[in-house]
């Protein structure tokens, strides 16, 4: 039985969540490894969410937002776009592989694209193997 | 603190979910979670019996939180919120788990799908435990409206509102009302007089006491939020000094219109250099004056009309300006009726005869022997000088698509159908009222199909050609639509402010002001005295950008708090 | 080199019956539905376009109008009611007048009054002429034999002279047709042998009208074929067996048979066409130019008087037979001298010629293409 990655997906309500819904309506099949959490805008994604997910044992994190220029709140995805490189550098310094955390733009009409992204990411992470973060950390949780 | 009692409901959705997900197993697993009081399965949760089941459980089991694992919340969140509300529970104490679009419909393998459904439902259970009841607020709705622009759209909107008994401030930049329609002679396709249309509007506006007209005026500032705007109107007075007036309005309709494309930008038509190459607007002037003649004062024997000047052209504007095809046919008719024996050729790429009466108009133009010549998008007609002994002063050379030949046709007069483009000052207006422009400068509507007159800023509406090229019927329709929306809000007398917004915990706020510039709705301002940021809940659209950015964690994004999202993360991964 | 558009040509050709050409917006449905339209002769849309733009030279040399049999399906399909079928018909009328070097055809088509007047003049002159001739040398009571009012030997000579004149006129016009279509095209080389090799096409199309059979509705083809074959049979009988036809009771039964069948065919087909044009139910009969009526009425008159003449003679009423004979000739002369070379009848020559030229052109273009590719191949050092 090959390793089944657990991927947490943060999808924005207006574009990417709708795109994932469209994949469902179109009955486009993809691997069952992603678990979606809905936010209103990709700008809502605090980098600590990503860290929390990895800490709780996620093997990968996928953040999806509207294509630049199409954000329902005008500029939210630009904020996500700005935060992301900093987050990646931080993760890299923790030794977390680049392929584990991704930022993608998925529009409400791109059901197939969402499915393709999930499939691709699942295979890449399967090849990388399970994340060792949860095991290495002690059980102290970060509480706010 | 009250004990959390959660009801979990798994929907079969007929066989949509049940065929792949073992709903009984999910219900059983959820039933074992702490704080879950009941966990049930039902065939169709959204049906009346399904909803009644939830309501009955709320009453019987004293549930104070509900989770529905079923289709996408985008489908039925509203349904279930209304259902729990009818049982006396705050609608925000509900959470849905999407085990259909994101699970049963996209996975085949039953064990994996069931495990995922369990994870998603568990996640919803942990989240809903952290939900708080939220109440909608209300504010006053000022019944006055500001209409920016006095063309056909602005005049129509103002009349619609004033006839319903509400005051309107109509602000027009030019020295007179009427906009671009006031420059027209007849209108396609029924050849009604534009003058008649305008006179009717202008007379009624002039006579209506409820409409205050500001000519030669501009809106300099607009602040506030829906139902409670304040506008500063600046009128250029005759003596050079301006006069400012501050008015309170509940809504704003932007009807600033368009400007015509500058034909001299296309050098190979020779506009501005060759005499007798004129634009459609200059031709309208000729028609209003009642005499069609060349620059030298002669009656033309051959007239050529060229479509798509500045439109459908990647070099200038890629879009279609929508009205020019029918206007060109209007010219063909008017020329033929004015000059017997004239030969009219119409050079087009495609004939856009989309509206009511348009196809008949097109057919009629061919019946009166207009010669239609089709040219390709990338091979425009070329204007050359005619030889001695040739009919006509100029020759147009066209790579004609319908015959496949390169042909030339004489022309004494060439009319260029110039396209519409966004006004130079459209950017200023957009910033003034806080709406966005698309890549061509047109104002963006809230939803291109379902919400064409509203914008993402509540209370600001757009109507007419400032949003995109359109003809008179559509401009009037949009103006009346915007007015109707506003009348609906005025009738309610109060504005309902959505319960989901962000708020600053002033105890935690350090006054760093990082959030101030982040808000796309300018909803966050800073109190310099208390040195704290404050969010105007009426303006806030709950995108959460500020919540993620606050270094002190002082901003709580209601209904999407950090705690709630952390609970979800734990839920999907445990 | 750009071709000059001439918007005035339509006004010209409207006189030949093209009324709704400007309505065409080139959807191409007509060319798609036409059973005869295929590469390299695709129509009627292209012809409509050339007409709209006034490309007179192209139209003059075009074959397409002759490949059309007016089944009317194009007009039925046309979403704009631009009547492509009738336009092709008007182009045929126009081309007939273009090929005609005398200018008579043009006059007739443009003015039905001129046509009618000329026919009447010829009819009256013929009548006077033959009555005078008959009275001068024969007995009106005698139909056959050397003392006949109109002896077959004389009429026979007259017929042949008339035939010769008309054949000459047709030949010249056919030559002009060849010139416009084939001769003046530069760079097109059709070897003389090809002309001989393909010559069989002429009688083939003339006698079978096989392209007409390709139309979806076979009825019109059969009627037209009946008309043509009947006409040809009568022509042969009259040109070669006039003496035997005027032999009275001693007429050979074979001539009787052919004669009756041919007459039936002529009258039947003509009545069918007249009825169709009157009722206007079939697409191709909805529009009738004056020349169409004149042609049919004249043909019917000739056929009926021909039959009557024979009937009177067999009944023994030779005076009536002779009078009918003169009346018959009063119809035959204008028909053969005016209608055949200058009006609709000329189709019997132009249509087969068009099929013939079409084949030759296809051959020549294929050769040209082969030559061109052969040339390229040679230059590339391959062949």
| B124/chain C closest Cα distance in angstroms | 59
Mean pLDDT along residues C340-364: 88
Chain B hits for A31, CB-CB cut-off 8 Å, are 107
Q: Would the CB atoms of B102 and A20 count as touching at under 8 Å?
A: yes
Residue listed under structure tokens 């020295």: B175
Q: Where in chain B is the domain with CATH 3.30.70.20?
A: 502-557
Q: Would the CB atoms of C22 and B369 count as touching at under 8 Å?
A: yes
Q: Would the CB atoms of C23 and B372 count as touching at under 8 Å?
A: no
B31, B36, B41, B47: CA torsion to nearest 10: 180
C248 pLDDT tier (thresholds 50, 70, 90): low
- pLDDT (0 to 100) of residue C381: 62
Q: Where in chain B is the domain with CATH 3.40.50?
A: 6-136
Mean pLDDT along residues B196-217: 96
- Residue C165 in contact with residue C338, Cβ under 8 Å? no
Chain B hits for C79, CB-CB cut-off 8 Å, are none
SS3 B346: strand
| Bridge partners for B348 per DSSP | B374
| Residue A18 touches partner B, C-beta closer than 8 Å | yes
| A42/chain B closest Cα distance in angstroms | 8
Q: What does the block give as tokens for C354?
A: 């068009």
ipTM of the complex: 0.94
- Residue B274 in contact with residue B394, Cβ under 8 Å? yes
The answer as to CATH 3.40.50 being correct for domain B6-136 is yes
DSSP-assigned states of every residue in B110-156: HHHHHHHHHHHHHHHHHHHTT------EEEE----EEEE--SHHHHH
Phi, psi dihedrals of residue C69, rounded to the nearest 5°: -115, 15
* Residues A19-69 pLDDT 10s: 999 999 999 999 999 999 999 999 999 999 999 999 999 999 999 999 887
B502-557: CATH, from 3.40.605.10, 3.40.228.10, 3.30.470.20, 3.30.70.20: 3.30.70.20
Chain B hits for C52, CB-CB cut-off 8 Å, are 371-372
Torsional sign, CA C214, C219, C221, C226: positive
β pairing state of B94-98 and B65-70 = parallel
Q: What does the block give as tokens for C372?
A: 């061109």
| B340/chain C closest Cα distance in angstroms | 14
The answer as to CATH 3.30.1330.90 being correct for domain B145-257+423-495 is no
Buried b (16+ CB within 10 A) or exposed e, A88-127: beebeeeebeeebbbbbbbbbebbebbbebbbebbebbbe
Q: Would the CB atoms of A49 and B553 count as touching at under 8 Å?
A: no
- pLDDT (0 to 100) of residue A70: 78
Q: Would the CB atoms of A24 and B74 count as touching at under 8 Å?
A: no
Q: Would the CB atoms of C55 and B408 count as touching at under 8 Å?
A: no
Closest CA in chain C for residue B341 = C8
Buried b (16+ CB within 10 A) or exposed e, C241-257: bbeebbbeeebeeeeee
- pLDDT (0 to 100) of residue B333: 95
| Residue A82 touches partner B, C-beta closer than 8 Å | no
Q: What domains are defined for chain A?
A: 7-140 (3.40.50)
Of B345, B366, B407, the CB nearest to C23: B366
Q: What is the CA radius of gyration of chain B?
A: 31
Which of B305, B339, B402 best tests the C interface by mutation, with the highest count of C CBs <10 A?
B402
- Residue B205 in contact with residue B164, Cβ under 8 Å? no
Q: Would the CB atoms of A48 and B123 count as touching at under 8 Å?
A: no
Q: How many residues does chain B have?
A: 574
Q: Would the CB atoms of C53 and B406 count as touching at under 8 Å?
A: no
With contact defined as 3+ CB pairs under 8 Å, the chains touching A are B
Give me chain B's average pLDDT, please.
Answer: 94
Peptide bond into C34 cis (omega under 30): no
Chain B hits for A45, CB-CB cut-off 8 Å, are 548
At a CB cut-off of 8 Å and minimum separation 6, what does B510 contact? Answer: B551, B552, B554
Q: Would the CB atoms of B560 and A44 count as touching at under 8 Å?
A: yes
Which of A46, A47, A116, A135 best tests the B interface by mutation, with the highest count of B CBs <10 A?
A46
SS3 C153: helix
Peptide bond into B413 cis (omega under 30): no
> Exposed, middle or buried by CB within 10 Å (0-12, 13-18, 19+), for B400?
buried
- Residue B319 in contact with residue B311, Cβ under 8 Å? yes
Q: How many helices (H) and strands (E) does chain C have?
A: 18, 1
Write down the H helix ranges in C179-289. 192-197, 201-208, 219-245, 253-279
H or E stretch at B345 = strand B343-348
- Taking Cα atoms as reference points, which of A34, A35, A44 lies closest to residue A14? A44
Closest CA in chain B for residue A6 = B573
| A31/chain B closest Cα distance in angstroms | 7
pLDDT at C245 over 80: no
For chain C, give the percent of residues with pLDDT over 90.
Answer: 32
Q: How far is CA B74 from CA A12, A13, B55, in A?
A: 12, 8, 21
Q: What does the block give as tokens for B422?
A: 């966004």
- Residue C188 in contact with residue C180, Cβ under 8 Å? no
pLDDT at A143 over 60: no
- Residue B407 in contact with residue B395, Cβ under 8 Å? no
Q: Would the CB atoms of B542 and A40 count as touching at under 8 Å?
A: yes
Q: Where in chain B is the domain with CATH 3.50.50.60?
A: 145-257+423-495, 262-418
- pLDDT (0 to 100) of residue B31: 96
- Residue B296 in contact with residue B413, Cβ under 8 Å? no
Of B345, B366, B397, the CB nearest to C25: B366
| Chains B and C physically touch (3 or more Cβ atom pairs below 8 Å) | yes
The region of weakest confidence among A115-124, B202-211, C64-73 is C64-73
| Residue A51 touches partner B, C-beta closer than 8 Å | no
The region of weakest confidence among A87-96, B135-144, B188-197, C133-142 is C133-142
Q: How far apart are CA C365 and CA C82, in angstroms?
A: 32
Q: What domains are defined for chain C?
A: 16-99 (1.10.1060.10), 111-363 (no CATH)
- pLDDT (0 to 100) of residue C322: 87
Chain A hits for B573, CB-CB cut-off 8 Å, are 6, 8, 35, 53, 56-58
Chain A hits for B540, CB-CB cut-off 8 Å, are none
Mean pLDDT along residues B329-351: 95
Closest CA in chain B for residue A21 = B101
Q: How far apart are CA B520 and CA B544, in angstroms?
A: 11
Q: Would the CB atoms of B371 and C52 count as touching at under 8 Å?
A: yes
- Residue B419 in contact with residue B308, Cβ under 8 Å? yes
Cα C71 to its chain centre, rounded Å, is 16
B290, B408, B375, B369: CA torsion to nearest 10: 50
Q: Would the CB atoms of B566 and A20 count as touching at under 8 Å?
A: no
Q: How far apart are CA A94 and CA A82, in angstroms?
A: 20
Q: Would the CB atoms of B105 and A72 count as touching at under 8 Å?
A: no
Of B72, B436, B548, the CB nearest to A44: B548
| A47/chain B closest Cα distance in angstroms | 8
For chain B, give the percent of residues with pLDDT over 70.
Answer: 99
Mean pLDDT along residues B77-87: 94
Closest CA in chain A for residue B563 = A144
Please give the biggest Cα pair distance in chain C: 86
Q: Would the CB atoms of A37 and B112 count as touching at under 8 Å?
A: no
- Taking Cα atoms as reference points, which of B166, B148, B329, B343 lies closest to residue B255? B148
Q: How far is CA B134 from CA B3, B283, B500, C334, in A?
A: 18, 61, 8, 103
C383 pLDDT tier (thresholds 50, 70, 90): very low
CATH fold for the domain made of B262-418: FAD/NAD(P)-binding domain (3.50.50)
Q: How far apart are CA B27 and CA B9, in angstroms?
A: 7
């Amino acid at each position: 039985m090959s390793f089944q990655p657990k991927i947490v997906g943060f999808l924005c309500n207006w574009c990417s969540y709708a795109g994932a819904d469209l994949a469902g309506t179109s009955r486009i099949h993809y691997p069952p490894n992603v678990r979606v959490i809905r936010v209103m805008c990709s700008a809502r994604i605090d980098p600590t969410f990503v860290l929390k997910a990895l800490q709780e044992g996620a093997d990968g994190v996928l953040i999806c937002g509207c294509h630049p220029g199409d954000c329902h709140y005008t500029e939210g995805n630009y904020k996500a776009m700005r935060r992301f490189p900093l987050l990646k550098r931080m993760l890299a310094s923790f030794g977390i592989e680049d392929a584990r955390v991704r930022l993608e733009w998925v529009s409400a009409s791109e059901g197939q694209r969402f499915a393709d992204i999930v499939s691709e990411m699942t295979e890449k992470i399967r090849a990388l193997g399970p994340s060792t973060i949860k095991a290495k950390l002690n059980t102290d949780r970060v509480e706010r | 603190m009250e004990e959390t009692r959660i009801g979990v409901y798994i929907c079969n959705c007929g066989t949509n979910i049940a065929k792949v997900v073992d709903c009984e197993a999910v219900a059983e697993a959820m039933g074992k979670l702490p704080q879950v009081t009941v966990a049930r399965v039902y065939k169709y949760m959204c049906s009346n019996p399904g909803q009644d089941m939830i309501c009955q459980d709320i009453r019987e089991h004293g549930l104070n939180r509900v989770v529905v694992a079923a289709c996408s919340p985008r489908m039925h969140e509203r349904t279930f919120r209304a259902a729990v509300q009818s049982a006396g529970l705050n609608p925000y104490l509900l959470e849905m788990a999407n085990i259909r679009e994101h699970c049963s419909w996209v996975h085949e393998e039953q064990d994996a799908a069931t495990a995922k459904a369990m994870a998603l439902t568990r996640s919803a259970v942990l989240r809903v435990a952290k939900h708080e009841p939220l109440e909608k607020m209300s504010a006053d709705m000022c019944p006055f409206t500001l209409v920016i622009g006095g063309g056909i759209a602005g005049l129509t909107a103002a009349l619609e509102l004033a006839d319903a008994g509400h005051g309107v401030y109509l602000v027009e930049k030019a020295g007179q009302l009427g906009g671009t329609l006031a420059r027209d002679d007849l209108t396609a396709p029924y050849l009604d007089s534009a003058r008649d249309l305008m006179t009717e509007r202008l007379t009624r506006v002039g006579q209506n006491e409820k409409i205050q007209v500001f000519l030669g005026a501009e809106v300099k500032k607009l602040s506030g939020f829906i139902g409670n705007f304040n506008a500063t109107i600046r009128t250029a007075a005759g003596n050079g000094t301006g006069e400012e007036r501050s008015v309170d309005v509940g809504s704003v309709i932007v009807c600033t219109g368009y400007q015509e494309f500058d034909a001299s930008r296309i050098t190979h038509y020779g506009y501005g250099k060759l005499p007798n190459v004129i634009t459609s607007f200059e031709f309208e002037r000729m028609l209003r004056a009642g005499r069609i003649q060349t620059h030298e004062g002669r009656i033309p024997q051959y007239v050529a009309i060229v479509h798509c000047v500045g439109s459908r052209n990647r070099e200038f504007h890629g879009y279609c300006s929508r009205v020019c095809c029918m206007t060109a046919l209007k010219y063909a008719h008017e020329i033929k009726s004015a000059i017997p024996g004239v030969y009219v050729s119409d050079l087009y790429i495609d004939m856009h005869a989309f509206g009511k009466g348009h196809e008949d108009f097109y057919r009629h133009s061919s019946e009166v022997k207009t010669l239609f010549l089709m040219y390709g998008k990338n091979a425009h007609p070329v204007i050359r000088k005619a030889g001695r002994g040739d009919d006509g002063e100029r020759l147009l050379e066209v790579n004609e698509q319908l015959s496949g030949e390169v042909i030339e046709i004489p022309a004494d007069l060439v009319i260029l159908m110039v396209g519409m483009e966004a006004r130079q000052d459209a950017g200023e207006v957009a910033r003034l009222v806080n709406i966005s422009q698309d890549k061509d400068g047109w104002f963006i509507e809230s939803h291109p199909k379902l919400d064409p007159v509203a914008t993402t800023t509540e209370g600001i509406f757009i109507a007419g050609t400032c949003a995109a090229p359109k003809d008179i019927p559509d401009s009037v329709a949009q103006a009346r639509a915007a007015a109707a929306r506003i009348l609906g809000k005025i009738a309610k007398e109060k504005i309902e402010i959505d319960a989901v917004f962000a708020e600053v915990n002033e105890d935690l706020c350090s006054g760093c002001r990082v959030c101030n510039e982040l808000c796309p709705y300018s909803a966050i301002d800073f109190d310099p005295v208390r040195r704290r940021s404050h969010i105007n809940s009426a303006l806030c659209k709950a995108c959460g950008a500020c919540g993620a950015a606050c270094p002190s964690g002082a901003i709580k994004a209601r209904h999407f708090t950090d705690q709630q999202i952390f609970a979800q993360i734990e839920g999907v991964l445990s | 080199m750009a071709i000059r558009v001439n918007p005035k040509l339509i006004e010209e050709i409207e006189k030949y019956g093209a009324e709704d050409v400007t309505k065409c917006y080139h959807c191409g449905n007509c060319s798609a539905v036409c059973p005869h339209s295929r590469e390299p002769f695709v129509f009627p849309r292209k012809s409509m376009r050339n007409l709209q733009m006034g490309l007179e030279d192209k139209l003059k040399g075009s074959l397409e109008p002759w490949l059309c049999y007016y089944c009317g399906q194009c007009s039925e399909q046309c979403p704009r009611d631009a009547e492509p079928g009738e336009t092709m018909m008007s182009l045929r009328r126009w081309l007939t007048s273009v090929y005609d070097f005398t200018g008579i055809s043009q006059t007739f088509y443009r003015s039905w009054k001129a046509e009618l007047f000329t026919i009447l003049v010829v009819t009256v002159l013929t009548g006077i002429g033959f009555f005078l001739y008959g009275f001068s040398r024969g007995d009106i009571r005698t139909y056959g034999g050397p003392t006949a009012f109109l002896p077959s030997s004389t009429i026979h000579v007259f017929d042949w002279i008339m035939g010769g004149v008309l054949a000459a006129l047709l030949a010249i016009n056919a030559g002009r047709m060849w010139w416009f279509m084939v001769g003046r095209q530069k760079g097109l080389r059709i070897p003389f042998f090809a002309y001989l090799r393909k010559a069989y096409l002429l009688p083939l199309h003339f006698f079978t009208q096989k392209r007409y059979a390709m139309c979806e509705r076979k009825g019109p083809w059969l009627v037209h074929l009946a008309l043509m074959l009947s006409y040809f049979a009568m022509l042969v009988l009259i040109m070669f067996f006039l003496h035997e036809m005027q032999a009275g009771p001693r007429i050979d039964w074979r001539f009787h048979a052919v004669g009756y069948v041919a007459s039936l065919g002529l009258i039947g087909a003509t009545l069918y066409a007249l009825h169709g044009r009157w009722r206007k139910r079939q697409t191709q009969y909805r529009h009738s130019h004056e020349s169409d009526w004149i042609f049919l009425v004249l043909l019917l008159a000739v056929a009926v008087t021909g039959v009557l003449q024979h009937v009177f003679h067999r009944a023994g009423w030779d005076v009536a037979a002779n009078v009918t004979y003169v009346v018959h000739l009063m119809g035959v002369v204008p028909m053969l001298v005016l209608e055949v070379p200058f009006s609709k009848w000329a189709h019997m020559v132009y249509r087969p010629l068009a099929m013939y030229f079409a084949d030759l052109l296809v051959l020549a273009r294929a050769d040209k293409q082969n030559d061109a590719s052969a040339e390229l191949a040679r230059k590339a050092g391959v062949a």
